[in-house]
Structure 1
Amino acid sequence: MALSNSQSDDKTNYRVQTKKQIAMFVFGDSVFDPGNNNYINTSTSGIGKADFPPYGETFFPKPTGRHCDGRILPDFAAAYAGLPYWRPYLDPNNHNFIVGANFASAGACALVEDDEDGIPLEVQIDYFKKVSNLLKEQLGEAEAEELLKGAIYYSSIGGVDYTTFIYEDSNVTESQIQDFVNIVVGNITNGVKEIYKVGGRKFAFQNVAPIGCVPGSKQSYNTTGCVESLQTLATMHNSALNFAAEDLASELPGFKYLIFDFFNTLMDRTENPSKYGFKEGDVACCGSGEYRGSATCGSLTSPYELCSNPNEYVYFDLAHATEACNIQLIELLWNGTTNVTWPLNLRQLIELESETEISSNIDRLIDEPVAVSVSNTYE
């Protein structure tokens, strides 16, 4: 069922029909962060945070830490699966980890050394391991293992690695670029294997966005077109991710996956906004400068412009899609054919059955929050 900006919060309207409780664990950067960066120290520039107006205004209607005017893709993925919208994992209140957790952090990188503002992928996976241990304590080993086996592991990571890489050295050689892509994808692969060891079997990968064509890149590099070096890196990463997923599927028994083509689906809307009901694909709704591509949206110290209707824009700020755009993209991820999500879509991946069914005891526990304290810092 299609979602709209006025959609009821009742998830039963479009919940996938399965025989077991679905859990989802989310890893990534600002595209997926529901507000984890509200609970960590980021740089003095504040780029890693979105806990101030006008972020969140379309739906919540207050800032939550999401880099969007409303809901982000993991919110819609959860809604389609019958799960609540995400609270940040680092939120100190009790959590219902039986339905999963969102560890994503704005500024996060696949490589620890690239991170300045966000929580690196490696640390996010450490958080997941802590959650898996809590589930085993709550459910028992067997039921927790089956829950983890049937869960979806949804990730979007790598874009910040590449923007940082080019920013620090714009004169890199082709061989250096390829080596760096291999390292980034290698780190992602290692992270997948760590999750697999804990019990994960169903992985939903979102490839890297057209990072050279977002408003922030065009403005930073003072170009009317896309920044080709960034586009090349994204394309190389996405190709390497395809091969890595195929290798994992052949290497790891029971490993199932999808790759959502975030690059081309967002790129098409950037280049052809009117085709999808938007008026603007180059300029962001919120920010300053020629493309509103600065990191000033909502700034208390720098002037910024804000559009009157975010639904008319592909991008809300310098690099992040509007809720209206996310609504279209989740439809493709959920029900799309192999030209946009392969070899499965998210609905098909969720409906793949585990070898055994989860005990009905989980139904009893879904609404019982897990009492757990989580650290607001990481090593």
Structure 2
Amino acid sequence: MGPSFSSETSAGFRRIKAVLVIYKAVVVAVVVVLPMLASLSESSKCEFSAIFNFGDSNSDTGGFWAAFPAQSGPFGMTYFKKPAGRASDGRLIIDFLAQALRFPFLSPYLQSIGSDFRHGANFATLASTVLLPNTSLFVTGISPFSLAIQLNQMKEFKVRVNEFSSTDAPVSVHLPSPDVFGKSLYTFYIGQNDFTSNLAAIGIEGVKQYLPQVTSQIAGTIQELYGLGGRTFFVLNLAPIGCYPAFIAELPHNSSDLDMYGCMVSYNNAVSDYNNMLRDTLRQTRKALPNASVVYVDIHSVMLELFRHPTLHGLMYGTKACCGYGGGAYNFNPKVYCGNSKEINGSIATASACDDPQNYVSWDGIHATEAANKLVTLAILNGSYFEPPFPIYEICDLQPIG
């Protein structure tokens, strides 16, 4: 289990030293272990046959833009060289995880052309929430594809797979076999929009009132997927939103609320409270499902370390966005979002991308760059951020993520 870095006490600084030791271990894995894995044949075995992902824009590989086509550059500029349905300059954590497991990138469930579901499906969509969006709870701009909808899509997907396999109709080469659901990894990276969508309107204390419903809904979804055959679940916790350029620029706070790294203490503390609640909920879920592996994945500690000490990890900028407008400490203006142009004070303002996103933690003020996502994935695969420990290297012959 990786250490947490939410405190500014001396104990917190001891934890920072500890994470650097872990990071060095990750480097060893890259330099020594992964090249050896590269020599393995493409037929290397893995107990997982597929990945089924549930989430929001942090893991959406094109679902939202398949439903509402409109994405333009500079999104996708680093890896795909064009917009690829991701809210980043390149690959996401789910992309790197799929590569490590020797799978192709996950096709969005909502993508009607060119999808290949033989190794899983991605139900995540940008702006999705865990709880059902409604006017009494959320502000406008939230996706209709909540976690409950994504679960229903998963159920329908399984029905269709079973139908194709039980009839005389030719089985589509782009669908998995019916036994895939018990041999898959189920991943969750969702909850950020439940946390942030109402912060400006009702504040931290108001948001805290419904966060227990969020963790309960995630647990209930895991139990339903268990009923569908799922046995291995990775649940990623929330990143420190108090360090994201967009939230620092937009959310109300005093200068006294900023720590020595420029992050908002009160908001980060609230995220830590939520993560602890999520951890406790998953512990209870684990007891209820003794035949399942329900793993809490602490990406919060990794992201907080990157925001606080970017230069120690090959980056340069923590709380400054690569793609934005206005320059300054955050390079974020809520009036003009990444890739868009708008008239401001009589002049046309364009939120353009930097030339070196590989040096940034934050891509557009809200999402991580490919560089940060890669570092987070390496930390996950190192195994130090799983609770309880999960032997992923014993289960799969992982390949290097390039």
TM-score by length of 1: 0.80
1:153 aligns with 2:186: yes
Q: Which residue of 2 aligns with 1:258?
A: 295
For 2:54 and 2:368, locate their aligned partners in 1 and report how far apart those are by CA, in whole Å.
18
For 1:65 and 1:210, locate their aligned partners in 2 and report how far apart those are by CA, in whole Å.
24
2:331 aligned to which of 283, 292, 301: 292
Q: Which residue of 2 aligns with 1:311?
A: 358
SS in structure 2 at match of 1:278: coil
The amino acid of 2:333's aligned partner reads S
Overall identity of the aligned pairs, in %: 28
1:126 aligns with 2:167: no
Q: Is the 8 A contact 2:242 2:263 kept in 1?
A: yes
Task: Note closer, same or farther for the CA distance 1:12–1:299 as it changes in structure 2 (3 Å cut).
Answer: farther
Q: Deviations over 1:250-304 (max 9, x none)?
A: 1114110222211110011101011101111111111123312335110043422
The amino acid of 2:193's aligned partner reads V
For 2:71 and 2:316, locate their aligned partners in 1 and report how far apart those are by CA, in whole Å.
27
SS in structure 2 at match of 1:26: strand
Q: Which residue of 2 aligns with 1:277?
A: 314
For 2:51 and 2:391, locate their aligned partners in 1 and report how far apart those are by CA, in whole Å.
11
Q: Is the 8 A contact 1:201 1:255 kept in 2?
A: yes
Deviation at 1:324? 1.1
Task: Note closer, same or farther for the CA distance 1:349–1:147 as it changes in structure 2 (3 Å cut).
Answer: farther
Instruction: Give the alignment's Cα RMSD to 1 decimal.
Output: 2.8
Q: Is the 8 A contact 2:324 2:332 kept in 1?
A: yes
Q: Which residue of 2 aligns with 1:364?
A: none
Q: Which residue of 2 aligns with 1:26?
A: 53
Task: Note closer, same or farther for the CA distance 1:38–1:346 as it changes in structure 2 (3 Å cut).
Answer: farther
1:74 aligns with 2:111: no
Deviates further, 93-102 or 196-205: 93-102
Q: Which residue of 2 aligns with 1:44?
A: none
1:343 aligned to which of 388, 391, 394: 388
Q: Is the 8 A contact 2:299 2:380 kept in 1?
A: no
The amino acid of 1:74's aligned partner reads I
Task: Note closer, same or farther for the CA distance 1:85–1:159 as it changes in structure 2 (3 Å cut).
Answer: same
For 1:128 and 1:165, locate their aligned partners in 2 and report how far apart those are by CA, in whole Å.
28
Q: Is the 8 A contact 1:277 1:312 kept in 2?
A: yes
For 1:18 and 1:182, locate their aligned partners in 2 and report how far apart those are by CA, in whole Å.
39
For 2:41 and 2:75, locate their aligned partners in 1 and report how far apart those are by CA, in whole Å.
26
1:35 aligns with 2:62: yes
Task: Note closer, same or farther for the CA distance 1:15–1:160 as it changes in structure 2 (3 Å cut).
Answer: farther
What residue ranges of structure 2 are gaps of 5+ in the alignment?
Answer: 1-28, 168-175, 343-348, 398-402
The amino acid of 2:233's aligned partner reads F
Task: Note closer, same or farther for the CA distance 1:212–1:21 as it changes in structure 2 (3 Å cut).
Answer: closer
What residue ranges of structure 1 are gaps of 5+ in the alignment?
Answer: 42-48, 353-379
Q: Which residue of 2 aligns with 1:102?
A: 122
For 1:282 and 1:94, locate their aligned partners in 2 and report how far apart those are by CA, in whole Å.
37
Task: Note closer, same or farther for the CA distance 1:226–1:19 as it changes in structure 2 (3 Å cut).
Answer: closer
For 2:154 and 2:395, locate their aligned partners in 1 and report how far apart those are by CA, in whole Å.
19
For these two proteins, the number of residue pairs brought into alignment is 333
Q: Is the 8 A contact 1:16 1:347 kept in 2?
A: no
Q: Is the 8 A contact 2:46 2:395 kept in 1?
A: no
1:214 aligns with 2:247: no
Deviation at 1:14? 8.8
1:334 aligned to which of 377, 381, 385: 381
Deviation at 1:178? 4.4
Q: Is the 8 A contact 1:258 1:349 kept in 2?
A: no
Q: Is the 8 A contact 1:36 1:65 kept in 2?
A: yes
Q: Is the 8 A contact 1:36 1:104 kept in 2?
A: yes
SS in structure 2 at match of 1:203: strand
For 2:81 and 2:41, locate their aligned partners in 1 and report how far apart those are by CA, in whole Å.
23
For 1:65 and 1:226, locate their aligned partners in 2 and report how far apart those are by CA, in whole Å.
29
Q: Is the 8 A contact 1:204 1:346 kept in 2?
A: no
Q: Deviations over 1:330-366 (max 9, x none)?
A: 11111222xx2222347258559xxxxxxxxxxxxxx
Task: Note closer, same or farther for the CA distance 1:328–1:244 as it changes in structure 2 (3 Å cut).
Answer: same
SS in structure 2 at match of 1:27: strand
